[in-house]
C-alpha cells in the first residue's frame, strides 16, 4: 500500500489542454487516490485492495463510475427523489470500457478484491469524463502498490473534414463521422470502442494508429508521477505469511505440478481424439472427461478429495486453453474442425411472429437470437437525465440474456452490466442506418432475446435486429451484420493466429474478442477487449480484414432472407402522419389549458405530439380516427384566404348579420347585406342559429376579421328581385338557400 505525504501535483500540455494529476490530499484511507483534471472536467480515482484472499477461482476486480449530478450543477428532476439512484446506462458503459482496458494488465492470480472507483466531481460540457476517468484509473493504479502492469493511456479520436481530431469537444463530436476510443500501453493497443458512419477499414486502422500515438502524452505524465511520488515507508504494508500459510502454498504448488503432469499427457488426446467436436455439448463432454480422468489419477496418487477438487478447479481450464491455443498456432487446427476464417452455419428468418410490428431470427452455429421491433408515436421518446443534462432518444435496442440460453437455471434480477453493454453495442452498430425523424417519424424499440449462446450473441443480435427492422418496414439505409474475431497467441506473442467467429473454448488467455459490425460499404461499430498485454498493428489489420470478409458473407445470408425493407408497415403498427403548421398557431391546436387537443384525442383516439418548430405528429392504428384528427388539426391551423368557400354553421345572430363558424374555433361575419341578393330586413328572415350554410370569404380586414358572403354562393334568381324575395313564415321549412341541421 502506498501513502503520500502532502499533496503533489503534475501537469502537462496534452492536445492543447492542461492535464493535471493531484495526489496525497484526498481519500487517504485508500491504497491510492488521484484527482485528474482535463479542461474543467475533474475525476477522482481511488484504488483499494482487500487484505484477505477469497476462496474463488477468478480475479475479483470491481470498476465503477459514480456520476454525481452536482458535477454539472444539476438537481434531479424527479419531484420525489433527489439523490442519485442506480447508475445510468452511460455510467455502466463507461465503467465497462475502463474495466476492459485495465483488466488485461493484472496477472489474474490474486484472489484479493480490487476496487477502482471513479467519482466525477466536475464536468465542463466539453471534455467527456469517460476519457478523464480512464486516465485517472491508470494513474491511481500505477501508484497503488497493486500488482498491475501499467500504465496505459486512452484517447478519443474523431474525424472532421478528413482530418483526425483528438479528444474532440462535444460540439466537435456532433460534426464528426467517427467516434473512436483507443486505449494502449506505450507499444500496444489494449482496448477499442468505436462508432462510425460506414467508415472504411483502412480509415479505422489509420485512426487507431494515430490514437495510439497521441495517447502517449497521458502515459508519460503517469510515468513521471510514478517515478517522483513520495512513499510513506512507515505506512507501506508488506504481505506477511505464517509458516502454516507458506507450507499450504507449497503443498498447493506441488499438487498443481502433479496435476499438470497428467494434463500434459492427456488433454490433447481427449480434446482431439476425433476429427472434431461439432457441438458445445460434445466439447463440454470432453472437458468433463478431462476432469474425471484427472480426478481418478489424483485419487490413485492418494490425494484427498478437497485437494483434488482444488487442483482440478485451478488447472484444467488453464491446460485446455493452452492446448487449444497451441493447436491453432502450430497446426491451424480448431477443436470443431473449422478453418481459421470459417464461419459456423448461418440461418436468417423473418415473419416469425403473427402480431408484432416486425421480427427476425438469426442463428450462427449454436448462437441464436430473436429480435422484435415495436414502433410508436414520437411522444414515446425516452427522456434522458444525467450528468450531461437532459435529452431524448428515439431509437433503442435492448438485449436480454436469460439463463436457459446457456442451459442454466438461476434467478433473474433484471438487466446486468453485460446486458446493458451488449444492447448498447448493437444499438451503436444500427443507429447509423436508422432513418431520420423527418423521413420516418416513429419511435423504434428493438428487444433482442438470446435463445442460445455460444459465442458473440451481441453480434447475432445486430444481425437479428437488422432482419426485424426490415421485416417491420423501417426504411433503414442498408442492412448491418456483425462478427466476433478472436486470437490465439503464445505467451510472448511471437506466434499468433487470428480466428473468425470464435466460440466457447477459443476465448482463453492469449486471445481477444474483436467485435466488428458494418454494412456493405463500411464499419459502423467496433468493440475490442483482449486477454493479452496488447495487440500489435499487424494483428489489428488482420482482424479488420477477416471481419470485412465475414460481414460480407453474413450480409449475403440476410439478403437472401429479406432483400429490402417491406414497403408497408404491419397492420398492427400505428400510422403516424406529420403536419407542419405555423408555430404561432400551436396555441390554436392546444387550446386554453389543453382543452382543444384533449378533445381531439378523446373523440378520435389518436395521440398527438407537437414540437416547437410547428411539427405535429398524429398517430393511431385506426384509419378513421386518424383521418378525423388530421382534418381537425388542419382546420384549426388553416390560414383563411379571400375567395375560399366553406360549409359553416350559424353560431350567433346580431342585428347587423350572422356569425358563421367556418373552421373549428374560427368565425366569420356574414353582414346582413351579404345574406341574399334581395334586400333583407331581418337576419332571421334568411338564417337561424344552427343552420349549416355555404359561405365565401370576401375579405380579411387589417384586424384579421373574416368577412363572409352567403349570397355569393347562391345563384341569381330568375326575374326581378323583390323586397319579399327572402321573406318567409315562421313555419316555413328551410330550402334553397341553406340547410338546417335536423333536431336531435
DSSP one-letter string for 191-208: EEEEEEEEE-HHHHHHHH
> What does the pLDDT read at residue 479?
97
* Residues 229 and 256 reside in one and the same domain: no
Rounded to 5 degrees, what are φ and ψ at 592?
Answer: -65, 120
pLDDT digits (tens, 9 = 90+) for 132-150: 999 999 999 999 999 999 8
With beta carbons less than 8 A apart as the criterion, state whether 662 and 707 touch: no
226: in domain: yes
Peptide bond into 268 cis (omega under 30): no
pTM (predicted TM-score)? 0.85
User: CA 108 to CA 655: how far, in whole Å?
Assistant: 95
Q: Is residue 1 part of a domain?
A: no
Asked if 150 and 127 touch (Cβ cutoff 8 Å), the reply is: no
Best CA proximity match to 138, nearest among 191, 177, 89: 191
Residue 97 sits in the same domain as residue 118: yes
- pLDDT > 90: percent of the chain: 63
Q: Give tens-digit pLDDT for 424-472.
A: 999 999 999 999 998 999 999 999 999 999 988 999 999 999 999 999 9
User: Which of 637, 656, 680 finishes a domain?
Assistant: 637
Closest of 1, 52, 50 to residue 28, by C-alpha:
1
CATH of residue 733: 2.40.50.140
Q: Are 364 and 343 in contact (CB under 8 A)?
A: yes
Lookup result for grid cell 460434445: 282
Rounded-to-integer distance, Cα 170 and Cα 530, Å: 29
- Based on the fold, state whether residues 90 and 153 are members of the same structural domain: yes
Residues 104, 92: Cα–Cα separation, whole Å:
19
Domain of 26, in residue numbers: 8-235
Q: Edge-to-edge strand order for the sheet containing 607-610? A: 575-580, 615-620, 607-610
Domain with residue 601: its CATH number is 3.30.1370.10
Q: Within this chain, do residues 649 and 633 fall inside the same structural domain, yes or no? A: no
For helices 243-271 and 305-331, angle between their N-to-C axes, nearest 10 degrees: 50
Residue 398 near residue 70 (C-beta atoms within 8 A): no
Q: Quick one: pLDDT at residue 729?
A: 41
Residue holding cell 500488482? 147
Instruction: Give Cα separations from 262 to 112, 250, 386, 484, 490 (angstroms).
Output: 29, 19, 55, 33, 21
Of the candidates 476, 471, 480, 477, the one whose C-alpha atom is nearest the C-alpha of residue 356 is 471
Please list, in sequence order, all residues whose beta carbon lies within 8 angstroms of the beta carbon of residue 359, skipping any fewer than 6 positions away.
Answer: 350, 351, 352, 353, 370, 371, 372, 373, 467, 468, 471
Over the range 52-79, which residues count as b (16 or more CB within 10 Å of their CB) and which as e?
eeeeeeebebebbbbbebebbebeeeee
**Per-residue pLDDT, 723:** 46
The string of DSSP letters for 290-302 reads HHHHHHHHHHHTT
Question: Cα-Cα-Cα-Cα dihedral of 170, 175, 181, 187, to 10°?
Answer: -120
Q: Is 341 a domain residue?
A: no
- Does residue 500 fall inside a structural domain? no
pLDDT at 179: 96
Strand, coil or helix: 448: strand
**3-class DSSP state of 674:** helix
Q: Distance from CA of residue 56 to its chain's centroid?
A: 33
Cα–Cα distance measured from residue 211 to residue 217, given in angstroms and rounded to the nearest whole number: 11
- Spatial contact of 453 and 467, defined as CB atoms under 8 Å apart: no
Residue bearing cell 473449422:
338
Residue 92 to residue 421: CA distance in whole angstroms: 8
Q: Are residues 38 and 158 in the same domain?
A: yes
Q: Would residue 337 be called left, alpha or beta, if left means φ above 0 and alpha means ψ between -120 and 50 degrees?
A: left
Question: Which alpha helices (H) appear in 353-449, and where do they start and end?
Answer: 417-431
CATH number where 27 lies: 3.30.230.70
Whether 251 and 284 map to the same domain: the answer is: yes
Which residues in the chain land under pLDDT 50? 1-4, 232-237, 722-744
Q: What total of structural domains would you count in the chain?
A: 5
- Work out the number of other CB atoms within 10 angstroms of the CB of residue 11: 13
CB atoms within 10 A of CB 197: 16
d(CA 669, CA 651): 10
| Residue 280 confidence (pLDDT) | 81
Beta bridge partners of 156: 181
Q: What is the pLDDT of residue 356?
A: 94
Q: Which of 637, 658, 685 is the last residue of a domain?
A: 637
In a domain, 513, yes or no: no
Q: SS3 for 647?
A: strand
Give the Cα separation of 565 and 737 in Å (integer).
54
Q: Are 349 and 361 in contact (CB under 8 A)?
A: yes
Residue 499 in any domain: the answer is: no
- Residue 315 falls inside a structural domain: yes
Q: Which value, in Å, is the radius of gyration of the alpha carbons in the chain? A: 36
Q: Are residues 51 and 199 located together in one domain of the fold?
A: yes
Q: Based on the number of CB atoms within 10 Å of its own CB, is 321 exposed (0-12), middle (13-18) or buried (19 or more)?
A: buried
The answer on 198 and 60 residing in a single domain is yes
Domain match, 311 and 409 both = no
Are residues 113 and 56 part of one domain?
Answer: yes
Q: Which of 183, 216, 235 is the last residue of a domain?
A: 235
Specify whether 185 is located in the same domain as 255.
no
Q: Is residue 698 part of a domain?
A: yes
552 and 407 within one domain: yes
Amino acid at each position: 500500500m502506498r501513502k503520500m505525504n502532502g499533496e503533489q501535483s503534475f501537469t502537462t500540455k496534452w492536445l492543447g489542454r492542461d492535464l493535471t494529476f493531484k495526489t496525497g490530499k484526498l481519500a487517504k484511507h485508500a491504497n491510492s487516490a488521484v484527482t485528474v483534471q482535463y479542461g474543467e472536467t475533474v475525476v477522482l480515482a481511488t484504488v483499494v485492495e482487500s487484505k484477505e484472499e477469497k476462496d474463488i477461482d477468478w480475479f475479483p476486480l470491481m470498476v465503477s463510475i459514480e456520476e454525481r449530478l452536482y458535477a454539472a450543477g444539476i438537481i434531479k428532476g424527479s419531484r420525489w427523489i433527489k439523490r442519485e439512484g442506480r447508475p445510468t446506462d452511460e455510467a455502466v458503459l463507461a465503467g465497462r470500457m475502463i474495466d476492459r482496458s485495465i483488466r488485461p494488465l493484472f496477472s489474474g492470480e490474486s484472489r484479493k478484491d480490487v476496487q477502482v472507483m471513479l467519482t466525477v466531481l466536475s464536468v465542463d460540457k466539453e471534455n467527456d469524463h469517460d476519457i478523464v476517468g480512464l486516465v485517472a484509473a491508470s494513474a491511481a493504479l500505477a501508484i497503488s502498490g497493486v500488482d498491475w502492469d501499467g500504465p496505459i493511456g486512452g484517447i478519443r479520436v474523431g474525424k472532421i473534414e478528413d482530418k483526425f481530431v483528438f479528444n474532440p469537444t462535444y460540439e466537435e463530436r456532433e460534426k464528426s463521422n467517427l467516434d473512436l476510443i483507443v486505449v494502449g500501453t506505450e507499444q500496444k493497443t489494449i482496448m477499442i470502442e468505436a462508432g462510425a458512419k460506414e467508415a472504411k477499414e483502412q480509415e479505422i486502422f489509420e485512426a487507431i494508429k494515430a490514437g495510439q500515438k497521441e495517447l502517449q502524452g497521458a502515459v508519460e505524465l503517469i510515468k513521471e508521477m510514478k517515478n517522483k511520488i513520495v512513499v510513506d515507508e512507515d505506512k507501506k504494508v508488506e504481505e506477511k505469511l505464517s509458516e502454516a500459510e507458506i507450507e499450504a502454498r507449497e503443498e498447493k504448488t506441488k499438487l498443481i505440478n502433479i496435476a499438470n503432469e497428467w494434463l500434459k499427457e492427456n488433454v490433447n488426446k481427449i480434446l482431439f481424439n476425433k476429427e472434431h467436436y461439432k457441438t458445445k455439448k460434445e466439447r463440454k463432454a470432453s472437458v468433463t472427461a478431462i476432469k474425471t480422468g484427472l480426478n481418478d489419477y489424483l485419487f490413485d496418487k492418494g490425494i484427498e478429495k478437497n485437494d483434488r477438487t482444488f487442483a482440478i478447479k485451478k488447472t484444467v481450464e488453464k491446460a485446455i486453453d493452452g492446448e487449444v491455443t497451441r493447436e491453432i498456432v502450430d497446426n491451424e487446427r480448431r477443436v470443431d474442425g473449422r478453418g481459421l476464417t470459417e464461419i459456423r452455419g448461418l440461418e436468417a428468418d423473418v415473419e416469425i411472429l403473427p402480431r408484432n410490428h416486425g421480427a427476425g431470427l438469426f442463428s450462427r452455429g449454436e448462437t441464436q437470437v430473436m429480435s422484435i421491433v415495436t414502433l410508436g408515436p414520437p411522444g414515446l421518446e425516452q427522456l434522458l437525465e444525467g450528468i450531461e443534462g437532459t435529452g431524448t432518444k428515439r431509437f433503442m435496442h435492448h438485449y436480454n440474456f436469460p439463463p436457459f440460453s446457456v442451459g442454466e437455471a438461476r434467478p433473474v434480477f433484471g438487466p446486468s452490466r453485460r446486458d446493458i453493454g451488449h444492447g448498447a453495442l448493437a444499438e451503436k452498430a444500427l443507429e447509423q442506418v436508422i432513418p431520420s425523424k423527418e423521413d420516418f417519424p416513429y419511435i423504434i424499440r428493438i428487444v433482442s432475446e438470446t435463445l442460445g449462446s455460444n459465442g458473440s450473441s451481441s453480434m447475432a443480435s445486430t444481425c437479428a435486429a437488422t432482419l426485424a427492422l426490415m421485416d417491420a418496414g423501417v426504411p433503414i439505409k442498408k442492412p448491418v451484420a456483425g462478427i466476433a474475431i478472436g486470437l490465439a497467441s503464445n505467451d510472448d506473442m511471437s506466434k499468433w493466429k487470428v480466428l473468425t467467429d470464435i466460440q466457447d473454448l477459443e476465448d482463453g488467455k492469449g486471445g481477444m474478442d474483436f467485435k466488428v459490425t458494418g454494412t456493405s460499404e463500411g464499419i459502423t461499430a467496433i468493440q475490442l477487449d483482449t486477454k493479452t498485454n496488447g495487440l500489435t498493428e499487424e494483428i489489428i489489420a488482420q482482424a479488420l480484414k477477416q471481419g470485412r470478409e465475414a460481414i460480407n458473407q453474413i450480409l449475403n445470408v440476410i439478403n437472401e432472407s429479406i432483400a429490402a425493407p417491406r414497403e408497408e408497415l404491419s397492420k398492427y403498427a400505428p400510422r403516424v402522419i406529420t403536419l407542419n403548421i405555423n408555430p404561432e398557431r400551436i396555441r390554436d391546436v392546444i387550446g386554453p389549458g389543453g382543452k382543444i387537443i384533449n378533445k381531439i384525442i378523446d373523440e378520435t383516439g389518436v395521440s398527438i405530439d407537437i414540437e416547437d418548430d410547428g411539427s405535429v405528429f398524429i398517430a393511431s392504428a385506426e384509419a378513421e380516427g386518424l383521418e378525423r384528427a388530421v382534418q381537425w388539426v388542419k382546420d384549426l391551423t388553416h390560414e383563411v384566404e379571400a375567395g375560399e368557400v366553406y360549409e359553416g354553421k350559424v353560431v350567433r345572430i346580431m342585428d347587423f348579420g350572422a356569425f358563421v363558424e367556418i373552421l373549428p374555433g374560427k368565425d366569420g361575419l356574414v353582414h346582413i347585406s351579404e345574406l341574399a341578393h334581395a334586400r333583407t330586413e331581418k337576419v332571421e328572415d334568411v338564417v337561424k342559429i344552427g343552420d349549416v350554410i355555404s359561405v365565401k370569404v370576401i375579405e380579411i380586414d387589417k384586424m384579421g376579421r373574416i368577412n363572409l358572403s352567403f349570397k355569393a354562393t347562391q345563384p341569381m334568381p330568375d326575374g326581378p328581385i323583390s323586397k319579399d324575395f327572402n321573406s318567409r313564415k315562421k313555419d316555413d321549412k328551410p330550402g334553397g338557400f341553406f340547410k338546417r341541421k335536423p333536431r336531435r
